[in-house]
Copies of this chain bind each other. A is one copy, B any other.
Amino acid sequence: MTTLGIVKRNITRADKAAVDKLGRFGVATVHEAMGRVGLMQPYMRPIYSGALLSGTAVTVLLHPGDNWMMHVVAEQIQPGDVVIAALSADNCDGFFGDLLATSFMARGAKALIIDAGVRDVRELTAMGFPVWSKGISAKGTIKSTLGSVNIPVVCAGVSVNPGDAMVADDDGVVVVPAEWAQKVADAAEAREANEGEKRAKLAAGVFGLDMYNMREPLAKAGLKYID
């Protein structure tokens, strides 16, 4: 009856080419391309600015104050993966630091996305290992309780299945279901191509009001100009 104490070794990862392609677009573009779903809560912030990446999810469910399963998930990482750490209850202790990051990097992990706290942020920044987290805390954790690895989890308000495509940047984190990865990547590409043209027009002084043909619907909705 429980989903605790399980490590799933074989998971189906989203198509690598599709995931790589997703990494060329920002989170906002991917989120739009997918129909405005899949976005983690905006409290998830990067520990340093400027990172933009995509990867495939390996998931881990942790309990408050206990990071034992972080060592278990490390063994399940494959190159190109992003570790998604969910919590069974709200907690902001520092579940992850430079030693675990060293281990994750040795396995080929591209990032950690954790609905809790991290520590050693100066070292993590120097190592170039990006983390999106709920907070920063030096508070250490114990190794006492079983969670699970590679089960479906809810992280920062969004469902993540093992193998899903993840995209993260300064705007936050979005989850793309594995089976949608290619279509979303294509839609994002189309959207971005489209944006280039729009950007040029706007830079030239064209109004969005005209470019998007908004004047008529605005008037119809009752907008009044006064002096």
Contact = CB atoms under 8 A, between A and B. Distances in A.
Interface of A: 1-10, 26-28, 31-32, 34-37, 39, 41-42, 45, 49-50, 52, 63-66, 68, 70-72, 74-75, 88-94, 97-100, 102-103, 105-107, 117, 119-123, 125, 135-140, 142-146, 152, 154, 157-159, 169-172, 174, 180, 183-184, 187, 195, 198-199, 202-205, 207-209, 212, 214, 218, 221-227
**Could you say how many copies of this chain the assembly holds?**
6
Contacts of A64: 64-65, 91, 93, 139
A225 B107 CA distance: 19
Nearest to A123: B26
Given A120-B26, A158-B154, A71 B137 contact: no
B31 A171 contact: no
Given A5-B221, A5-B223, A26-B123, A102 B202 contact: yes
Given A136-B172, A138-B31, A205-B107, A2 B89 contact: no
Given A94-B171, A102-B203, A68 B35 contact: no
B4 A37 contact: yes
A122 B25 CA distance: 12
